[in-house]
Structure 1
Amino acid sequence: MRDSLREKVVQVCSKKIEQKGESVGVSFYAFFANKNDDPELLMEAATWWIQTHQLDRFEKATKVMAMVKSGL
């Protein structure tokens, strides 16, 4: 996963946790605008989420953020 996407994931997860608490869930779509303006980056996130780590549709933001920070 490219560094810019890692930074975006951490930023979005941190904001969601701050707003809704540590039990908040996210999907990989949370890291993108409603408009598909960067399909390559979206596919990179989807591949990381679905194929590489076989995560569920929604996962706890704390889990996703920890995975990204650890370099997974």
Structure 2
Amino acid sequence: MRQSLRDKAIGICEAKIAKKGEGVGLSFYAFFANRNDDPDLLMEAATWWIKTHQLDHFEKAVKIRDMIAAGQ
């Protein structure tokens, strides 16, 4: 996953955690607007989430933040 997407994803995870607490879940769609304006980036996130790590559709934001921060 490219660094710009990692930074954006970590920021979104942190914002959701700050707003709703450590139990908040999200999907990779949370990293994007409600339109498909960058399909390559969307597929990059989907590949990381689904194919590489075989994550469920919704995961805890804390888990995702920590995985990305660890370089996974």
TM-score range (shorter-chain normalised) is over 0.9
Within 5 Å, which residues of 2 pair with 1:1-72? 1-72=1-72
Structure 1 letter corresponding to 2:13: C
Task: Note the aligned Cα RMSD (angstroms).
Answer: 0.2
Percentage of pairs with the same residue: 67
Structure 2 CA distance for aligned equivalents of residues 71 and 61 of structure 1: 16
What TM-score, normalized to structure 2? Answer: 0.99
| Mapped partners of 1:46, 1:70: distance in 2 | 18
The TM-score with structure 1 as length reference comes to 0.99
CA positional deviation for 1:49: 0.1
Deviations 1:35-66 (A, max 9, x none): 10000000000000000000000000000000
Amino acid corresponding to residue 39 of structure 2 in structure 1? P
Task: Quote the offset at 1:69 in angstroms.
Answer: 0.2
- Runs (4+) of structure 1 moved beyond 2 Å? none
Q: Which sections of structure 1, spanning at least 5 residues, go unmatched? A: none
